[in-house]
Chains A and B, each alone.
Chain A
Amino acid sequence: MTAMALRLSDRLRGFFDAADGAEGELAADPLLDVVHQYPEEAAWFIKVVMFFGSISGVIISIPCGVFLTMYWAPCGQCNRPLRYWILVHCVLQLLQAPVRLVFFLRLCHVQSLNNNIQECVRQLTHSAAWRTSKVVSIITYGWFILGIVWLLNSTYCKPCPGLYRLSLAVIFAAVARLLMTLIVFYHSFPPRFQGQGLPPKPRGANQELIDSMPLIVYSQEMRGEETSCAVCLSDFDRDAVLRRLPCGHSFHRGCIDKWLKRNKVCPLCLQDIEVQSPKTSKVKKAI
């Protein structure tokens, strides 16, 4: 009996430990990179999300279970199988709860020992439990969408009026948890990190502003200026149409226009094209 229990606990522990040979995919895990950069913040974020995830899953499942056992038969007469939807949703939540709880406890344990958080997260994210949990998560989301669709299509159900309201409450709870995760994320990490991966803030110029920069035709006689375009690295051909920025730097019109739409600074001196420089007047005089 004891031996069996031991074997079982061994098996269980293996489920939460990194599988050998997972080393190779190390580089591909973005979570690990975040943990590496902000270990404390990441640990806190994972802990909070795991803790609330497991608790909320259990809390939601209890009233649902009670409701379903009481009204299973009458709910069968509603025009959408919402009773099955709630049942499967709760089962999925309950499946994830222990995994999340183990993650939470492990992280707490590692933090209290002041051990290497990175190593702990690395082990956890490479465990079979994590991969299984990922699959369950994906199924949960798919099932969740299906529930919304069914709910939107369902009409008032006389034999079982509570079912509609319960489904709505379950969906609201899930949305609330998603929102909470986002809020915790924004509070966990410094603002610089949040910018990564997101499209850069609009700092490009509109066509009107670009058109306000003068066009000039290149000729060999223009002395003391660039003879090639710093954007495409090609030499200016005779009669090439260039655009000159307020800082005095010139580029192929096509090349610089594409860049300014993304970022309205001069590629060479990084001066904002909307800021008039004292150099401008000098350049004009020189011409």
Chain B
Amino acid sequence: MPTDFRRVKKELQECAKDEALTGVSARLKNEDDLTQLEGKIKGPQGTSYEGGVFKVDIEIPDSYPFEPPKMKFSTKIWHPNVSSQTGAICLDILKDKWSPALTLKTALLSLQALLSAPEPTDPQDAQVAEQYLKEREKFEQTAAFWTSSYASESSSDEIVERLCGMGFGKDQVLEALDATDGDENAALEKLLG
């Protein structure tokens, strides 16, 4: 069964519409491959993940949407339902509770909800889950530390300032950032190229 690429394209458009509102986004890793995507989840406010942006590796299987997209965190994260080593996720809708009425956006939103409300009784990482249950304060500290170490993204203003500081004009910088989806390194390459 060939992948329903029309649906994937539609989902990406749908996702882009309210990115700022939902705090989740998805984009293709490269233009002409609709099976490899990268999702981004903003850490929910009021949690130890606040201020972090967590990247999610998304692979669209051949039989999508009849099978769930394969997702795993590529940003290191300290969470009972995510492997602290591999980023593997334990979430029922990404396994046997998948329904084709779910989308990349709803799946990413579910992941965001999982960040707000971990389920330590159904852990992916036993060590983290144990800490979550027994030493809550230490857990929050570790999670916050991991967030600031691995998931903090400079705000766009900071990036613009940094690039302008290298001697590029502001319009030029904004244009480059716009073309590279705000990726600082890619923008710099573009400016230099």
Task: Tell me the A residues contacting B by CB distance below 8 Å.
Answer: 26-27, 32-33, 36-39, 118, 122, 195-196, 200, 230-234, 255, 258-259, 262-263, 265, 267-268, 270
Please indicate the chain B residues that have their CB under 8 angstroms from the CB of A265 in the complex.
Answer: 99
Alpha-carbon gap, A37 to B80, bound state (A): 10
Alpha-carbon gap, A258 to B66, bound state (A): 8
Number of interface residues of B (CB under 8 A): 27
Partner of B127, one of A118, A234, A262, A267: A118
A200 and B103 form a contact (CB under 8 A): no
Please indicate the chain A residues that have their CB under 8 angstroms from the CB of B99 in the complex.
Answer: 263, 265, 267-268, 270
Closest to A39 in B: B126
Please indicate the chain A residues that have their CB under 8 angstroms from the CB of B39 in the complex.
Answer: none
Please indicate the chain A residues that have their CB under 8 angstroms from the CB of B11 in the complex.
Answer: 233
B85 and A26 form a contact (CB under 8 A): yes
A27 and B87 form a contact (CB under 8 A): yes
**Quick one: which of B6, B14, B99 has the most chain A CB within 10 A?**
B99
Please indicate the chain A residues that have their CB under 8 angstroms from the CB of B95 in the complex.
Answer: 196
B66 and A33 form a contact (CB under 8 A): no
Partner of A231, one of B96, B101, B123, B127: B101
Q: Is the interface of B mostly helix, strand, loop or mixed?
A: loop
Please indicate the chain A residues that have their CB under 8 angstroms from the CB of B88 in the complex.
Answer: 33
Chain A to chain B contacts (Cβ below 8 Å), 29 pairs? A26-B85, A27-B85, A27-B86, A33-B85, A33-B86, A36-B83, A36-B126, A37-B83, A37-B90, A37-B123, A37-B125, A39-B127, A118-B127, A196-B95, A230-B100, A230-B101, A231-B65, A231-B101, A232-B4, A232-B6, A233-B7, A233-B11, A233-B103, A234-B10, A258-B1, A262-B66, A265-B99, A267-B101, A268-B99
Please indicate the chain A residues that have their CB under 8 angstroms from the CB of B83 in the complex.
Answer: 33, 36-37
B124 lies within 8 A of chain A by Cβ: yes
Please indicate the chain A residues that have their CB under 8 angstroms from the CB of B96 in the complex.
Answer: 195, 200
B84 lies within 8 A of chain A by Cβ: yes
Please indicate the chain A residues that have their CB under 8 angstroms from the CB of B10 in the complex.
Answer: 233-234
Tell me the smallest distance from the CB of B45 to a CB of chain A, in Å: 29
The 8 lowest CB-CB distance pairs between A and B, nearest first, are A267-B101, A230-B101, A267-B99, A231-B100, A27-B86, A267-B100, A268-B101, A233-B10
**Quick one: which of A39, A195, A231 has the most chain B CB within 10 A?**
A231
Closest to B128 in A: A36
Please indicate the chain A residues that have their CB under 8 angstroms from the CB of B6 in the complex.
Answer: 232, 234
Instruction: Indicate with 1 or 0, residue by residue over B59-92, a CB within 8 angstroms of chain A CB atoms.
Output: 0000001100000000000000001111110100
Please indicate the chain B residues that have their CB under 8 angstroms from the CB of A233 in the complex.
Answer: 7, 10-11, 14, 103
**Quick one: which of A38, A233, A267, A268 has the most chain B CB within 10 A?**
A233
Closest to A261 in B: B66
B86-130 at interface with A (beta carbon < 8 Å):
86-88, 90, 95-96, 99-101, 103, 123-127
Closest to B98 in A: A263
Alpha-carbon gap, A232 to B95, bound state (A): 20
B126 and A38 form a contact (CB under 8 A): yes
B7 and A37 form a contact (CB under 8 A): no
Tell me the smallest distance from the CB of A255 to a CB of chain B, in Å: 8
| With A231-B101, A259-B66, A267-B101: A36-B85 Cβ-Cβ less than 8 Å | yes
Tell me the smallest distance from the CB of A204 to a CB of chain B, in Å: 10
Alpha-carbon gap, A267 to B95, bound state (A): 14
Tell me the smallest distance from the CB of A54 to a CB of chain B, in Å: 28
A259 and B126 form a contact (CB under 8 A): no
Alpha-carbon gap, A55 to B155, bound state (A): 60
Please indicate the chain B residues that have their CB under 8 angstroms from the CB of A27 in the complex.
Answer: 85-87
